[in-house]
Structure 1
Amino acid sequence: MPESSDPEALRSFTLYHRAVRDVRGDHLLSLNVLRELYPDVYAREAAKYVGREALMQERVGRLDCLWNDVLFFSPVHPGPLLNAVRATGREVPPVRFWTLSAAGLDPAQACVHLPQPWPGGVKPEHDPADERPLDARTLRAVSAPPAGTLARLHALPAGAPLILWMDVPHVLYRGSVPLGALGELRA
């Protein structure tokens, strides 16, 4: 079996998700599942999309679902991203993240999404080529902090919203993840 499609090869990759407060149940759930089970949690989390509501109707072609039907993980360790912000003099206390071995996801229900720049603040048309398979070759290619992201964070004005992940590749997962499968780190 080629290394890139070997599920065992995924064990060497860690994925990151910012830990949420007020966790309900015993699984990490997508936004659309939260809407049905925990409307108050949904309302809090959906507020992140104010001004970007159209994203909530985006389709993830490779997974045949909506953007809000997936969980989002980063293949990039958050430490270098937060340190880029801290290097500007902005005080950022340690942030709690959950960790998950990439082998904990079913590759048939996951993909790596490559974000594209929004020239002039306008979201580009969806390109199916921006959705790659979840395999070791793809994760290896996207697990380092993008240079453009580090430059953006180094130039982040004081008081600007701290959005670490907007231009970082994401692992999208159509499913739930047992909380017991998650580790924790502070960065």
Structure 2
Amino acid sequence: MPFLYHLCADDFRGDELLPLNLLASRFPDLHDREVRKWAGRESVVSFPVPHLGVAWGDTVNLAALDPARLVEARRRLGLPFSSLLQRKVLRIPLERIAGQPAVVYDTRSHWRNSRPDAEDVPEVPPSSDFTPFDPDSYEELTEVPPLHLDYLVEQRDAGLPALGFVFVRHVLVAGAVDVAGLARTRLA
């Protein structure tokens, strides 16, 4: 059975993963902390996600790759973990989102989200990076994408920090995701 993955802070509350914008009204203190991850790329939060009709900040981002693989890649390359990769992992069965509006986000180019400090990147990604989600054709990734590895090496060689999930396929779900009863495990 394929899975999706999400990283949770130790103080995760409730039985649902909430989009950033919904977190603001339900748990303002958590929102204030989580919104800091978007420093330098605030425009991404209001980006209208193709095929969904909602803003990026109204979606829950689920990785199609077990984040443990990202930690392994960083170890091999001699890179520090991003603080995000020090959180607990939720392994979410595909059926938890099967009936919800969602898209597959399979990024292959840099934009504001992956290069917040660069002046020469587009503000928005190409719409071709987004396809409607189909649970019957969903494939969990089993290896770190080569583009992500190349990105890690570039960042390391330039002496710059590397974001956690650049060029890693995600499923963006419009609205909250039920995670009741799912275990959260440590990565490292």
- Given the alignment of the two structures, is residue 83 of structure 1 paired with residue 72 of structure 2, yes or no? yes
* TM-score, scaled relative to structure 1: 0.79
Between the two proteins, the alignment pairs up a number of residues equal to: 176
Higher helix proportion: 1
Query: Cα deviations across residues 58-93 of structure 1 (Å, max 9, x unaligned)?
Result: 001211100000000001122222111111334659
- Given the alignment of the two structures, is residue 64 of structure 1 paired with residue 63 of structure 2, yes or no? no
Q: Tell me which amino acid in the other structure corresponds to 2:69.
A: P
SS in 2 for 1:180: coil
TM-aligned CA deviation for residue 25 of structure 1: 2.8
Query: Cα deviations across residues 2-45 of structure 1 (Å, max 9, x unaligned)?
Result: xxxxxxxxxx2111111223222332111111111211111111
C-alpha change, 1:143 and 1:64, in structure 2 (3 Å) is farther
* TM-score, scaled relative to structure 2: 0.79
Report 1:11-26 matches (<5 A). Answer: 12-26=1-15
Two-structure CA RMSD over aligned residues (Å): 2.7
Runs of 4+ residues over 6 Å off in structure 1: none
TM-aligned CA deviation for residue 114 of structure 1: 1.6
Query: Cα deviations across residues 86-125 of structure 1 (Å, max 9, x unaligned)?
Result: 1133465965211101111034411111223227651364
Q: Tell me which amino acid in the other structure corresponds to 1:128.
A: S
Return 23-32 or 92-101, whichever deviates more: 92-101
SS in 1 for 2:180: helix
* Cα separation, 2, equivalents of 1:126 and 1:89: 29
Gaps of 5+ in 1: 1-11
* Cα separation, 2, equivalents of 1:74 and 1:81: 11
